[in-house]
Structure 1
Amino acid sequence: MAQNTSSAVMQQRLDHGDKLNYFPTPLWATRALIRWIIENIGPVEGLTCLEPACGQGHMARALAEFFQSVSASDLVDRGYGTQADFLFPDDTSEFDWIITNPPFSLAEEFILRALLRARVGVAMLVRTAFIEGEGRYLKLFRPAPPRAFLQFVERVPMFKGVVRNPAELYWDEEAQKWRRPSSATAYSWVVWVKDHDGRPELAWIPPSRRKLERPGDYEVTP
């Protein structure tokens, strides 16, 4: 596939570098995905994985609990992994799985690139509204049907630039009040498996936060 070097895409990549486009993923949400993969697709302990939008490493840390090896990179150096542009890479190495929370405006491009480089499967954490749209259906979902849409039944709280512990209060500078982390946005995992030619499965991820949280999950990795 030829790389898209249009000015619009390049500007989006610059926008991706803005810290306001960084929404770290709570580790429990990644663990819930891998549990589903192991139960429905197969074991991953001997496989490799790439996390190409790693931020400060929250998702990569959870993936490393399961995979043999995890490579982590990001367009912006946030102190974890290597600095690399997934859409315009110098290195096009293949991995068994590619799993990430892509920048929303570039999710299609991330998925299409990942499908070229993954040997076994791809999983992307997206807003549930991502599955809507005629254009996205024609460009992505019809030619490359997912193996499954995995909808969280509980909200996955994601905030700009920080992972917050839902059990703790935090001071909201903008509102000038104490709040508990919450989210009005619904998220789901979309999973592709190579050579899958059937209809996508719609499944629900049951309440998982309390069961899958671990001590240290909300600490920033140096």
Structure 2
Amino acid sequence: MQNTSHAVMAQRVEPADSPDDFPTPPWATRALMEHVIPGETRAMTCLEPACGAGHMARVLREYFAEVRAADAHDYGFGEVRDFVVHPVEVGQVDWVITNPPFRLAEEFVSRSLQVARRGVAILARTVFLESAGRYHGIFRERPPARFAQFVERVPMVKGRLDAKATTATGYAWFVWLKEHDGPPRLQWIPPCRRALERPGDYPAGPDRRYRSSAS
């Protein structure tokens, strides 16, 4: 039987004017903090410039002293600010961490590397590694320090979180460290969804909007 899930598939293409709102499951953000980003971050600042309804930013507040959130579209969470058109000033935060619109991911990386003092982490489809354009645009001169591939699938559904969603798409965290000197490091994010999911991560009602005790 054909899988008819609305979760993101590898062949998905969003229109140029689409907000590309595919919320990140909270456990996938915790996986970055628990398995990929080195060192202590609780005294640091972080910017989430494609925050949507705040699903990633809320989790980042568990790990950072301050999290600033913004998005080009008004989702009722964070500042309304187009990161590509109106970027944040250079060196304003320690980290930039986000799941950007796929078609704008290269621009997000370039601007984030200017804004962040310590590092940048981008959640993207594994195929972001491909294309001559991205190689010449960012990877040749500014390769990530770490490429962290999820061994579990990270299901994302347009416009909502859904604990029961499935996907055929692979995702990875691309992490740039300002003090890194050397070739990129490949790592796998081990199975961790069950350990990192928390009560309140997913909506309880049919409207599928985010509900959590976190503010």
Fold match by TM threshold 0.5:
yes
In structure 2, C-alpha distance between the alignment counterparts of 1:139 and 1:58, rounded to whole Å: 29
Are 1:81 and 2:115 counterparts?
Answer: no
Identify the match of residue 17 of structure 2 among 7, 11, 15: 15
Corresponding residue number in structure 2 for 1:58: 55
Does the aligned pair in 1 maintain the 2:87–2:111 contact within 8 Å? no
Give identity over the alignment, percent: 55
Report what 2:5 is aligned to: none
Q: Is the contact between residue 54 and residue 60 of structure 1 (CA under 8 Å) also seen in structure 2?
A: yes
Give the whole-Å Cα distance in 2 for the aligned partners of 1:183 and 1:109: 26
Corresponding residue pairs, total: 192
Write 1 or 2 for the structure with the bigger share of helix.
1
TM-score by length of 2: 0.85
Following superposition, the deviation at residue 102 of structure 1 comes to 0.5
Gaps of 5+ in 1: 1-11, 167-180
Tell me the residue number matched to 1:114: 112
Aligned partners of 2:54 and 2:181: how far apart in 1?
33
CA contact (8 A) 2:88 2:115 kept: no
Question: Residue 46 and residue 37 in structure 1: after superposition, are their counterparts in 2 closer, same or farther (change >3 A)?
Answer: farther
CA distance in 1, matches of 2:176, 2:101: 18
Q: Give TM-score, length-normalised by structure 1.
A: 0.82
The reply to whether residue 48 of structure 1 matches residue 45 of structure 2 is: yes
CA contact (8 A) 2:53 2:75 kept: yes
Instruction: Give deviations 1:4-58, integer Å, cap 9, x for gaps.
Output: xxxxxxxx997143xxx110000000000011245xx211000000000000100
Q: Please, which of 169, 178, 193 is the counterpart of residue 209 of structure 1? A: 193
Aligned-pair Cα RMSD in Å: 1.8
Are 2:148 and 1:150 aligned?
Answer: yes
Unaligned runs of 5+ residues in structure 2 are: 1-13, 204-209
Partner of 2:100: 102
| Cα distance in 1, alignment partners of residues 67 and 148 from structure 2 | 22
